[in-house]
């Protein structure tokens, strides 16, 4: 008899817990919040159309950039405008999905949350692959095609210094999750490396596919900048401070990441001055 009473109590306890869990699982905190299917459908169609047009423009951006109005390149301008509307439409879809998520019951929300946590855990366990894929996508993206300003900088006019006068900066490449392969600030043979020289495999004319190239110049939205340079101040025997030498460096490494040579591309201060003048003259030409 006592055994039956104990069994009934256990059944009653489990049934009560199950009923509470079922009620919580199916309950909705915001029962009137739901997905606007009609708006979502039309926004999705618009987003798909914008992405297709963007891909067409992106594939033909170099041809379209041959059309220049004043100093604006049409192809790059169209890319920026389309990208703005794509992001705007993605934001509208996200807001709609937010209301749909709010209207779900607690159980569905918990299931989705657990799935997201599991995906993040998998990303954490494979963070090297995830980070490398992001960096590879970044390196493959030609950001210069998004520059609508037709203010070209003639980097070829900057003469290379003879190797005999160029300091050889035999420093080891480093690798981290944010910068990827790079040369950080450090001192070598009295020369101080300034800035962060990111490294990449050879992809341009005259380069070797198997070698790494670190440093040099970069251009973003028509504004040129020096990635890294070396600096050294001569101290005379009497303790007097002598001349300071600066060279933009272009370090080359073989396929095993062993140092090959340093090429000096000129004075970084003079480059900044030339770049500013070139941009100013371009504006004057179209004003």
Span 5-41, pLDDT tens digits: 777 777 777 888 887 888 888 888 888 888 888 888 9
Q: What is the average pLDDT across 94-117?
A: 87
pLDDT at 164 (0 to 100): 52
User: CB atoms < 10 A from the CB of 87, how many?
Assistant: 10
| 244-273 core/surface letters (b: 16 or more CB in 10 A; e: else) | eebbbbbbbbeeeeebeebbbbbbbeebee
Say if residues 151 and 68 touch (Cβ distance below 8 Å): no
- Domain boundaries in the chain? 15-146, 155-286
pLDDT at 220 (0 to 100): 52
**What phi and psi, each to the nearest 5 degrees, are found at residue 251?**
-85, 135
Helix residue ranges, H only, 65-126:
74-102, 106-125
Say if residues 241 and 249 touch (Cβ distance below 8 Å): no
pLDDT one-digit tens code per residue, 267-284: 777 765 665 555 545 545
Q: What is the pTM of this model?
A: 0.47
Say if residues 73 and 65 touch (Cβ distance below 8 Å): yes
pLDDT one-digit tens code per residue, 130-178: 777 777 776 666 666 777 776 544 444 444 555 557 888 888 887 776 5
Say if residues 148 and 286 touch (Cβ distance below 8 Å): no
Mean pLDDT of the chain: 77
The CA distance from 76 to 81, in Å, is 9
Q: Which two tokens stand for residue 13?
A: 């306890």
Question: Is the pLDDT higher at 205 or at 274?
Answer: 205
CA distances from 196 to 173, 179, 208, 245, 258 (A): 11, 9, 22, 19, 19
**What phi and psi, each to the nearest 5 degrees, are found at residue 212?**
-105, 145
3-state secondary structure of 220: strand
The Cα angle at residue 42 between residues 35 and 100, in degrees rounded to 5: 10
pLDDT at 158 (0 to 100): 46
Return the DSSP state at 30.
S
Across 77-91, 155-169, 178-192, the highest mean pLDDT is recorded for: 77-91
Side-chain-side CA neighbours of residue 152 (13 Å): 7
pLDDT at 106 (0 to 100): 84
């Amino acid at each position: 008899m006592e055994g039956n009473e104990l069994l009934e109590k256990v059944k009653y306890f489990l049934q009560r817990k199950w009923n509470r869990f079922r009620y919580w699982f199916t309950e909705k905190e915001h029962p009137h919040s739901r997905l606007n299917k009609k708006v979502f459908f039309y926004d999705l169609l618009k987003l798909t159309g914008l992405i297709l047009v963007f891909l067409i423009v992106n594939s033909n951006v170099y041809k379209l950039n041959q059309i220049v109005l004043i100093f604006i390149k049409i192809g790059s301008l169209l890319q920026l405008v389309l990208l703005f509307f794509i992001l705007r439409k993605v934001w509208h879809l996200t807001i709609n999905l937010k209301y749909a998520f709010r209207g779900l019951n607690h159980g569905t929300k918990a299931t989705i949350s657990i799935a997201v946590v599991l995906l993040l855990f998998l990303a954490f366990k494979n963070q090297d692959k995830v980070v490398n894929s992001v960096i590879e996508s970044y390196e493959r993206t030609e950001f210069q095609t998004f520059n609508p300003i037709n203010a070209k900088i003639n980097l070829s006019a900057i003469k290379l210094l003879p190797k005999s006068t160029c300091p050889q900066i035999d420093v080891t490449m480093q690798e981290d999750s944010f910068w990827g392969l790079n040369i950080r600030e450090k001192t070598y043979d009295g020369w101080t490396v300034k800035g962060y020289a990111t490294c990449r495999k050879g992809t341009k004319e005259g380069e070797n596919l198997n070698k790494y190239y670190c440093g040099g110049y970069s251009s973003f939205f028509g504004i040129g900048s020096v990635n890294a340079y070396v600096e050294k101040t001569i101290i005379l025997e009497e303790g007097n401070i002598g001349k300071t030498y600066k060279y933009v460096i272009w370090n080359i490494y073989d396929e095993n990441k062993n140092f090959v040579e340093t090429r000096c591309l000129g004075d970084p201060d003079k480059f900044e001055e030339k770049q500013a003048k070139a941009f100013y003259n371009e504006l004057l030409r179209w004003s």
